[in-house]
A and B are shown apart, each in its own frame.
Chain A
Amino acid sequence: MVQYREPVLDATFAALSDPTRRGVLEQLGRADASITNLAEKFHMTLTGMKKHVGVLEKAGLVTTEKIGRVRTCKLGLHALDKEAEWIERYRQLWAERFDELDKIVEELKQKEKAHGQNKR
């Protein structure tokens, strides 16, 4: 479950900065594929492709599943069920609200402090 927004986005943007990885995402958008398939399509070694898939997987953009001897890759968003996706959006909504509330709490705290000092 995606828990923290900004570090996740850092990973996402880092993952998307590479043209091969963007190509892999495009490919997986059309159909799931094994790492061997992907390596062939992108004229890469298996090890090289595993690394790229690993980066995408870490960013949550791709999920992989090993069935027998074949590791199949699919787009991460497809793996997120609707509820998890919704809960993440719901959490972001509250995080946005609460970041604003943080500012107000800080402001009120300062005001109280100043007020207390005036009294003394």
Chain B
Amino acid sequence: MDKTKDSGTNLTKNNTTVERKSDRELVVTRTFKGPAHVVFNAWTKPELFQRWWAPKSFGVLLLSCELDARTGGKYRLVFRHPSTGEPMPFFGRYVEVIPPKRIVWTNDEGEEPGAVTTVTFEENAGETVVVLHDLYPSKEALDEGIASGSTSGYPMQFEQLDELLVDLEASMDGRTA
């Protein structure tokens, strides 16, 4: 087996990058092997969106998913984490929706004003670069999110990372077998 080549493929496949652009901004970038309208649909159609937004590895269940992906429309997602059992709603408003180029939404579930998320889709030679940009109202808001281990209410847990490590270890065992 050509292991070098194998990990090379993984490098290009998992090229999700995150950068803290400024005191108030986080930027996530990823390229998808498909045209912009296809990727855009996966962000705006509930039946597609709910298939990837909360992958199994997160350990949370997406109970409901309502997306009215139009400028001025609203969205509402409800998760449940098995350990708490409490439903966790996330909601906000679409500030701008321009198919298949740009989506801007607010994150309104927190007590304080939340980040504004802008996602852009740029197609080039059949591939689409997705840039997700979270703009926090203040440096303090982003710092606080980092200190408490969560941001925009994304459920995050060390246990999930542990599970992920176990899965990866298992799959690596399989690979060398």
Within 8 A of A (CB), among B64-96: none
Q: Does B34 contact A (CB under 8 A)?
A: yes
Q: Are B58 and A93 in contact (CB under 8 A)?
A: yes
* Complex alpha-carbon distance, A105 and B30, angstroms: 13
Q: B142: nearest residue on chain A (CB-CB)?
A: A83
* Complex alpha-carbon distance, A114 and B172, angstroms: 35
Q: B173: nearest residue on chain A (CB-CB)?
A: A13
Size category, A interface: 20 to 34
Q: Are B48 and A5 in contact (CB under 8 A)?
A: no
Binding site for B on A (CB under 8 A): 3-7, 9-10, 13, 82-83, 86-87, 89-106, 108-109, 112
Interchain residue pairs with CB less than 8 A apart (9): A6-B10, A6-B14, A10-B7, A82-B146, A86-B149, A91-B16, A94-B30, A97-B53, A102-B33
Bitwise, B27-51 to A at CB < 8 A (1) or not (0) is 0101011110011011000001001
* Complex alpha-carbon distance, A71 and B109, angstroms: 49
Q: Are B11 and A7 in contact (CB under 8 A)?
A: yes
Q: Pick the contact of A92 from B11, B149, B161 — CB < 8 Å?
A: B161
Q: Are B154 and A93 in contact (CB under 8 A)?
A: yes
Q: Are A10 and B42 in contact (CB under 8 A)?
A: no
List residues of chain A with CB within 8 A of the CB of B16: 91, 94-95, 98
Q: Does B168 contact A (CB under 8 A)?
A: yes
List residues of chain A with CB within 8 A of the CB of B38: 105, 108-109, 112
